[in-house]
Structure formats: C-alpha cells, structure tokens
A and B are shown apart, each in its own frame.
Chain A
Amino acid sequence: MLWLWENRDLVLGLSLEHVRLSAVPIIVGFIACIPLGWMANRFRMTRAIQLTLFGVLFTIPSLALFVTLPSVLGTKILNPINVVVALTIYAIAIMVRGAADAFESVPRDVIQSATAVGFSSVSRFWTVELPLAGPVLLANLRVVSVTTVSLLSVGALVGNGALGYLFINGYQRDFPTEVMIGIVFTLIIAIIFDQLLVALGKVFMPWTRKAPRVARTVAVAAGGDA
C-alpha cells in the first residue's frame, strides 16, 4: 500500500495508458463488426469465408502477432500501434462471429412483418434488426472488452503493455507487491469497462432491463483469450 501511494503517479499514468490503448480496439471492433456481421448473416457464401478467415486470425497467439505486425505494417517494434492493431484484429475476430449470431437471433417473422408494413431495407435495419440484435451484440462486446483489457498486458514483452510494465518490473526486482498492484488495477479497469457497457446497454436498450438471460448463454458460449 505504501508502495502504491509513493508511486501513485506511475500507476495512474499506466492505468490511463491501459484505458487508452484498450479502448481503441473495443470501439473499432464494435463498429467494424456491424457491417461484417450483417454481411455474414445475409450471404451464406461470405459467411463461410469470413468465419474461417477470422477464426484463423483469432488462432494466432497474441505475442506472435505483436512480434510479426511491425514487419507487416512497417512500424518500429516498440510502437504502441502494433499492440493496438493486434488487439483490434482479435476484437473484430470475436465480434464478427458474435454479430452474425446476433443478427441471426432476430426472428424471421419480425423482419417479414417490418417489410410488410412498408419499412425500406435501410430503415428496417436501423430500427428493427439492429435494436433486436442489440442484447447479443452487447454480450459479445463484454467478452471482447474483458479479453482486450487482460491481453494488453502481454504487450509489455514488446515494450507496450501499459499496466503490464508493473508485471515485468516487479518480477525483475523480485517485488510481488508491484505485480499484485498491476493485476488488481487491470481487474479494476476490466470491471469498470464491463459496468460501463452494461450501463450503455440499459440506456440504449431500455426494454432489456428485465431480461438478462440473453447475455448469459452467449457469454458462456463465446471464445476466450490469449
């Protein structure tokens, strides 16, 4: 505790860095998955291709991706962009499958009813399909959020792990408290992100407040980390 107080500027700075680096992949993953997931659900052909492609991308270990991306992107190995891009790839890989499931969970008859009462396909998407796919999308986004926050610390091995720096520094100095504080703050950030997403879900999908069951099954079924 004393160490934490004496190094509050360092821990706070690393925490903010952690928030900054992990927020980008979560947001980009969410935005990118909507057209991709919709496409995967709409066309059988692209579904198979997309799910295979992102399945393979998700299989590549994170540390391997952190090391190989610089030569693909032409960046320096210590550039934080590498870690952000790698985590964004994972976020999209998890979200595309989840988004395809989410759009699939929208009942056919509801879509047909919307068409029958005269929705154009664009307004049907924004006012019927997307809101109804929302709960499943949110469940997957929560998985992505937790995974991203926890994976980011591995980036410390390539010089950009935000709070992961405390793991390596504490380990090298044989000082468990520092490692512990790194773990605790990573968990705190993961919880804050998760609660933030739940709160946003309640604001944008007020009808789901009494139906939390959806989040459960999907969170269990969806893929994991590293």
Chain B
Amino acid sequence: MLFLDAIAFILDPANLLGDKGILPRLIDHLLYSGLSLGAALVIGIPVGLFIGHTGKGKNFVVALTGSFRAIPTFGLLLFIILFTGLGLWPLVFVLAVLAIPPIIAGAYSGLDAVNRETIDAARAIGMTEWQILGKVELPLALSLILGGIRSATLQIIATATIAGYVGLTGLGRFLIEGLALHNYTIAFAGAILVAALALAADGLLALIQILVVPHGVSRGTTRTTSNSRRRTRPPAITTTPITEG
C-alpha cells in the first residue's frame, strides 16, 4: 500500500541524511520559510501597527488583503525567475509578498479591536502616543497579531514546496521528484512530511499564542472583540447599538 510504503520511506534511516536526505531538505525548507517570514514581518508589522494606531488607510488593508490573495504565487515566482535567473531571493520575495497581507491584517484588526474608551483613558492620563502603542494597544492586540503571523507562517510553509520546482530543495523536492519520476511513494512521503511540518508549526504557534498573552488581557480581548463585531453589523439589523456603561 502506498501510504505504508511512504511511511517506510520516511522511517528508513538511509533516507535521513545525505544530499537528498530528509534532514537537509527539512533544514532548507525551514531556512526558506524563516527568511521569508522575517522579511514579511519587517515590512508587515510596522505598516499594520501604523494603520491600526492612526486609523489611516483602512481601505488600503481591505484592498490589499483581497487583491493579493488572487495572485497565483506559483505563476509569479516562475515569471520573476525568468528575469532574475534561479536563486534563493526570488523565492523569498514571492513568499514574503504572500505573507505580508495576513500580517498587516492581523496587526491592523488587533489594534482595531482594542476598546476606544481604553485608548482615550490612556491618553487622558497623559501617556504619549508611543506609550499608548507599546503599553496599551500592543498587549491587548497581541493575540490577533500572533493570529495573523500564524496564518502567514502556514501559507509560507505550504507554498515553499514549490521551491523544489525551481532548482532549490526543501521538502517540496520530494514531491516534484516523485511526480517527475512517477515514483509516487516518494511523492507521497514528501506530502506527509510537508503536512506534518505545517501541522507542527501551527500547533507550536497556537501554543505561543496562548502562552504569550497574559490571563487578564486575554479576557479583555475577547470582550472587546465581541463588541467590535457588534459594531460592524449591518445597520439594518441593529436598531439601537448597545454601548457600555
């Protein structure tokens, strides 16, 4: 059976190390993903925090997240490579482009969900804008910001499989080689490895998401989030908006 053959391939120590082994390809996969995520964070977090804090450019976020999702990443990568030649940077660029919208959206919606009254209170007791951002908005928004990073990470890990098609390695190489050689055992093994890596990364980030956010804050966050949801209901439904206090 194909599934058992694939498991046997993964567990065979002969396939672990060496040029075409699982371990070096796993490390490459993590390297591509890490570089891309780093690049996306450097751009996405400041932009998202700026939009969330100032409230400027909300429409930009909506347009960006909607339209970037429509770009076929695979096609974009091949298109760029035809001009730049094979290499690591086209891949990192394309994966970062893929990851920036969810990161910006997460940071923006995290700050947007913070209760306006809390921010006004912080401003009233004399906090500077930087203090409000760092001491009030960031801790309250942390859960949603990490949520955006988590979804970006998943997309990067999943899409990094196409590296195997453009002269790089990574776990996707097993898939591409397996398909090219009609050796579906190897392809299946590659699929299992990529899926396992994605699930592991998702689980790890979910855990961090829970651990990093302090108890008191996470309770406040859920309350303000449900408030913001109520706020965004169509006017046709809500008759009188319920305000607190």
Interface residues of A (CB under 8 A from B): 56, 59-65, 67-68, 70-71, 77, 105-107, 110, 132, 135, 142-143, 146-147, 149-151, 153-154, 156-158, 163-164, 166-168, 170-171, 174-176, 179-180, 182-183, 186-187, 190-191, 207-208, 210-211, 213-214, 216-217, 219-221, 223-226
Contact across chains for B165 and A157 when beta carbons are under 8 A apart: yes
4 closest A-B pairs by CB: A61-B158, A64-B191, A211-B234, A190-B70
Contact across chains for B234 and A213 when beta carbons are under 8 A apart: yes
Contact across chains for A226 and B78 when beta carbons are under 8 A apart: no
A135 to B232, CA, bound (A): 11
Contact across chains for A171 and B81 when beta carbons are under 8 A apart: yes
Which A residue's beta carbon lies closest to that of B64? A220
Q: How far is the CB of B210 from chain A (nearest CB, A)?
A: 15
Contact across chains for B179 and A67 when beta carbons are under 8 A apart: yes
* B234: A residues at CB distance < 8 A: 135, 207-208, 211, 213-214
* B191: A residues at CB distance < 8 A: 61, 63-65, 67-68
* B73: A residues at CB distance < 8 A: 150, 225-226
Q: How many residues of B contact A (CB 8 A)?
A: 61
* B238: A residues at CB distance < 8 A: 107
Tell which of B188, B202, B232 has the most Cβ of chain A within 10 Å: B232
* A179: B residues at CB distance < 8 A: 75, 78-79, 82
Contact across chains for B187 and A67 when beta carbons are under 8 A apart: yes
Q: How far is the CB of B44 from chain A (nearest CB, A)?
A: 13
Which B residue's beta carbon lies closest to that of A191? B70
A164 to B72, CA, bound (A): 9
Total residue contacts A-B, CB cutoff 8 A: 178
Q: How far is the CB of B84 from chain A (nearest CB, A)?
A: 11
Contact with A along B108-127 (1 / 0, CB 8 A): 11000000000000000000
* A217: B residues at CB distance < 8 A: 109, 228-229, 232
Instruction: Taking A157-B165, A179-B79, A219-B66 as given, write out 14 further A-B residue pairs in contact, using a Cβ cutoff of 8 Å, ordered by the A residue number.
Output: A63-B158, A132-B237, A146-B70, A154-B162, A157-B179, A164-B75, A166-B75, A167-B72, A179-B82, A182-B75, A186-B72, A211-B236, A216-B62, A224-B151
Contact across chains for A59 and B194 when beta carbons are under 8 A apart: no
Contact across chains for A147 and B69 when beta carbons are under 8 A apart: yes
Contact across chains for A63 and B70 when beta carbons are under 8 A apart: no
Partner pick for B158 among A62, A105, A107, A174, CB 8 A cutoff = A62
A63 to B105, CA, bound (A): 26
Contact across chains for A64 and B195 when beta carbons are under 8 A apart: yes
A221 to B62, CA, bound (A): 10
A175 to B81, CA, bound (A): 11
In the complex, B157 has a CB within 8 A of chain A: yes
Contact across chains for B75 and A146 when beta carbons are under 8 A apart: no
Which of B16-24, B132-140, B170-178 has 4 or more CB atoms under 8 Å from chain A?
B170-178
In the complex, B89 has a CB within 8 A of chain A: no
Can you list 8 pairs linking A and B with CB atoms under 8 Å apart? A59-B198, A61-B195, A64-B191, A67-B178, A71-B184, A191-B70, A208-B234, A220-B65
Partner pick for A67 among B75, B155, B188, CB 8 A cutoff = B188
A220 to B113, CA, bound (A): 13
In the complex, B90 has a CB within 8 A of chain A: no
Q: How far is the CB of B59 from chain A (nearest CB, A)?
A: 8
Contact across chains for A225 and B188 when beta carbons are under 8 A apart: no
Contact across chains for A224 and B102 when beta carbons are under 8 A apart: yes
Tell me the B136-178 residues at the A interface (CB within 8 Å): 151-152, 154-155, 157-159, 161-162, 165, 172, 175-176, 178
Contact across chains for B82 and A183 when beta carbons are under 8 A apart: no
A157/B176 contact (C-beta < 8 A), A219-B62, A225-B69 known: yes
Q: How far is the CB of A145 from chain B (nearest CB, A)?
A: 9
A150 to B72, CA, bound (A): 5
A217 to B238, CA, bound (A): 17
Contact with A along B41-81 (1 / 0, CB 8 A): 00000000000000000100110011001111111101101
* A176: B residues at CB distance < 8 A: 79, 82-83
Contact across chains for B233 and A226 when beta carbons are under 8 A apart: no
Which B residue's beta carbon lies closest to that of A109? B239
* A220: B residues at CB distance < 8 A: 61-62, 65, 105, 108-109
* B66: A residues at CB distance < 8 A: 142, 146, 219
* B61: A residues at CB distance < 8 A: 220
Contact across chains for B78 and A171 when beta carbons are under 8 A apart: yes
Partner pick for A64 among B58, B78, B82, B190, CB 8 A cutoff = B190
